Structure 1
Amino acid sequence: MHANSVDSEAWIRRYHPIPDSGIRLLCLPHAGGSASFFLPVARALAPVADVLAVQYPGRQDRRAEPCATSVTELADRLLPVLLDGWTDRPLVLFGHSMGASVAFELAGLLERETGTAPASLIASGRRAPSRPAPEQVHTLGDEALLAEVRSLSGTDTRILDDDETLRLVLPVLLADYRAAETYRPDRFNRVSCPVVALVGDNDPKVPLDDARAWQEHTSGTFEMHVFPGGHFYLIDRAADVVARIRDAITRASASSG
């Protein structure tokens, strides 16, 4: 049991616990996303890693809590949760879209506060920290925001067509888009762990050059994998993405062993 079990239980979902696994994978969702997005990843990787999925405040069972206002706030609030019993094994961070920025900030914090960097950082569907997106969708009103979300095909549009559900989801989307679009790397410019960038070849949010620029943010090794698809390429290419994550876990296990 974790000393700060209330916080751990609020933030961390452990769908397929592997108590004797030698490594942990921490999954960080996209804007508007929740921990359950990573259920298939947890199921697929259960034999090789103890998979943890982060539940941000403001959604699902945490809907009564205010959403975070920034990427750095999310990282700052996650750090003590992780330090409360989840860093006893090598940790691989996997973030999609906004989650990749949270993972980058968290990697910097872990290295600064503990002296130990994560075993690897996997950044999916996100421009490098030094290449912020020019869009400011969060300032354009509800209809523009909903049009953007629909266009990216990461959310079941039936949810957005239900008025009652929409009232619950819209504040979360707005807060997350604000956090994602206003993020700038003003605390850390580089981490020392290996970085793996994953991106869809037709992602309207992430030009390939801006994904490749993640290599500027690590003093460790860098690799990039391009998949067929758009911003949510990982839904259709789940098996291939899991294979790349498994490779990163295998290398991290070997280097820590």
Structure 2
Amino acid sequence: MSSEPVPVLCLPYAGAGAGLFWKWQRLTPAGLRLAPLQLPGREERTDEEPHRDVARALHTLLPEALDAVRGHSRVAVFGHSLGAVLAYELARALEERTELPVAHVFVSGSPAPDRGRVQQEADLTDDEFVARVEELAGYRHPAFDSPEFRELMLPTLRADVAMHEAYRPASDCPIQAPVTSLRGSDDALVTEEDARRWRTATSGSFSYAELPGGHMYLADSAAQVIGLMEATLDKAARRTVLADRPSGSGAACG
């Protein structure tokens, strides 16, 4: 990999915060620099109202993203589940509004933008909502076992789920950046077909990868995910084509 570390803007799944990725820092090689982004309503921003709309979330995220990558010559983006669509729209915003090349977009545990979510869970009762989220994710958050933390966490989780359910792509145009779609091999929420359909979301190259586990596979696979990102970005850095890719002009759409 080149001597300059590549910043990877990281966006977590619904209900989670940037702290998820700070735990990954000790696994990160010298060629990468994880840059987790924090949305309102979680961790140090719990006193702020969480967003329920992707466009508003992007309005918050873009300045933070630009601060995180200042001085770098390229950037990558990673997101899981809800974070995947936020990562995709953030990459589009970077392509359309800045001159910074987006080297790669890693989307995890998510159907392609045009598939969306058909379930409607955001307005269920608390018990029904928690049960449904656990069923779909195949994972029970430890906070749900504490009434105090559950009460604190539920408003943000509901807002995130509502944001995901309401999401529609900002444009029918694909982004220019290459995309890698990752999926847990036993994911009952996102099918392989849905995950592979991300190939239609980019005019650049596309790849698909599966790791062992269900929808929340990344809880046990941080090292593998980071290794995949490192290898992918290292390969891209060796291609002279990367330096020739136009930037700041938005995605072409015929």
Q: 1:93 to 1:210 in 2, by over 3 A?
A: same
SS at structure 2 position matched to 1:139: coil
Does the CA-based 8 Å contact 2:39-2:50 persist in structure 1?
Answer: yes
For 1:195-206, list aligned pairs within 5 A.
195-206=179-190
Q: 2:9 & 2:25 partners in 1: Cα distance?
A: 10
Q: Percent identity?
A: 35
SS at structure 1 position matched to 2:149: helix
Structure 2 equivalent of residue 220 of structure 1: 204
Question: Shift in Å at residue 118 of structure 1?
Answer: 1.0
Structure 2 equivalent of residue 4 of structure 1: none
Map Cα deviations across residues 177-226 of structure 1 (whole Å, 9 max, x no partner): 00011101033531101100000122121111000000001010000001
Task: Tell whether 2:220 aligns with 1:236.
Answer: yes
Residue type at the aligned position of 1:127: P
Question: Shift in Å at residue 174 of structure 1?
Answer: 0.4
Residue type at the aligned position of 2:167: Y
Structure 2 equivalent of residue 54 of structure 1: 37
Q: 1:200 to 1:113 in 2, by over 3 A?
A: same
Does the CA-based 8 Å contact 2:25-2:34 persist in structure 1?
Answer: yes
What 5-or-longer segments of structure 1 have no aligned partner?
Answer: 1-19
TM-score between the two structures when normalised by the length of structure 2: 0.87
Structure 1 equivalent of residue 248 of structure 2: none
Question: Shift in Å at residue 121 of structure 1?
Answer: 0.1
Does the CA-based 8 Å contact 1:72-1:102 persist in structure 2?
Answer: no
Q: 1:35 & 1:96 partners in 2: Cα distance?
A: 12
Q: 1:238 to 1:50 in 2, by over 3 A?
A: closer
Structure 2 equivalent of residue 3 of structure 1: none
Structure 2 equivalent of residue 8 of structure 1: none
Q: Which has the higher contact order (CA 8 A, sep 6+)?
A: 2
For 1:1-257, list aligned pairs within 5 A.
21-84=4-67, 86-89=69-72, 90-151=74-135, 152-157=137-142, 159-187=143-171, 189-255=173-239
Q: 2:188 & 2:47 partners in 1: Cα distance?
A: 33
SS at structure 2 position matched to 1:119: strand
Q: 1:235 to 1:85 in 2, by over 3 A?
A: closer
For these two proteins, the number of residue pairs brought into alignment is: 237
Question: Shift in Å at residue 130 of structure 1?
Answer: 0.7
Does the CA-based 8 Å contact 1:191-1:218 persist in structure 2?
Answer: yes
Q: 1:205 & 1:177 partners in 2: Cα distance?
A: 14
